[in-house]
Chains A and B, each alone.
Chain A
Amino acid sequence: EDKVVQSPLSLVVHEGDTVTLNCSYEVTNFRSLLWYKQEKKAPTFLFMLTSSGIEKKSGRLSSILDKKELFSILNITATQTGDSAVYLCAVGGGFGNEKLTFGTGTRLTIIP
């Protein structure tokens, strides 16, 4: 059974801090790992990672994948209150389909 585990479950930091969110996985026939940000409603797409060791970056957010150790991290530097959200990690695997398996998410709270 495919499995995605995120840690920590929740994190509270002060504005300006740097945070690292973790995602480890076990899937059959790994194809991709995706990060989403969920505030109140729909998850919004952040990154898709398919190759090991290549960092994806968007502003203060960055992510990297390690396919040998089966994990990914999402870094957020100089955090702002608008970064408060649940961050979801999802892994695509299997054969002949586009199924994603989601972790339970990390709830990040930024204190002003």
Chain B
Amino acid sequence: DGGITQSPKYLFRKEGQNVTLSCEQNLNHDAMYWYRQDPGQGLRLIYYSQIVNDFQKGDIAEGYSVSREKKESFPLTVTSAQKNPTAFYLCASSIRAGTQYFGPGTRLLVL
């Protein structure tokens, strides 16, 4: 089955802890993206990557980090510097300049 998978579905973070959200795609897409969605707000871009070993900051990158060592994978780390991490995190992928397709999302909660 081709698609985008995200794990875990729910994630709990303690104060001062770094957590990593997984995103994998087997669609052979070059570009991958991370968005954050808060209630009543649209999706906001955190980071994106157009090619392996390269990524750019989006509109709200502070407190987050990413890597793109493989075409299929684009993990997002929420660091302790992100003071308000509770949100729904969505990963997407696309061919260059194509439609973005989304994974099922990870809901991050702070304990």
**Residue B42 contacts which of A92, A98, A104 (CB distance < 8 angstroms)?**
A104
Asked whether B102 lies within 8 Å of A98 as measured between CB atoms, the reply is no
Interface residues contributed by chain A, number (CB under 8 Å): 21
Residues of A with C-beta under 8 A to B42: 4, 88, 102-105
**Residue B103 contacts which of A4, A42, A48, A90 (CB distance < 8 angstroms)?**
A42
Interface residues contributed by chain B, number (CB under 8 Å): 25
Residues of A participating in the B interface, judged by any CB pair closer than 8 Å: 4, 31, 34, 36, 41-45, 48, 88, 90, 92, 97-100, 102-105
Asked whether A98 lies within 8 Å of B104 as measured between CB atoms, the reply is no
Asked whether B40 lies within 8 Å of A41 as measured between CB atoms, the reply is no
Residues of A with C-beta under 8 A to B58: 99
Asked whether A98 lies within 8 Å of B90 as measured between CB atoms, the reply is no
Indicate whether B31 reaches chain A with its CB closer than 8 angstroms. Answer: yes
| A15, B46: Cα distance in complex, Å | 38
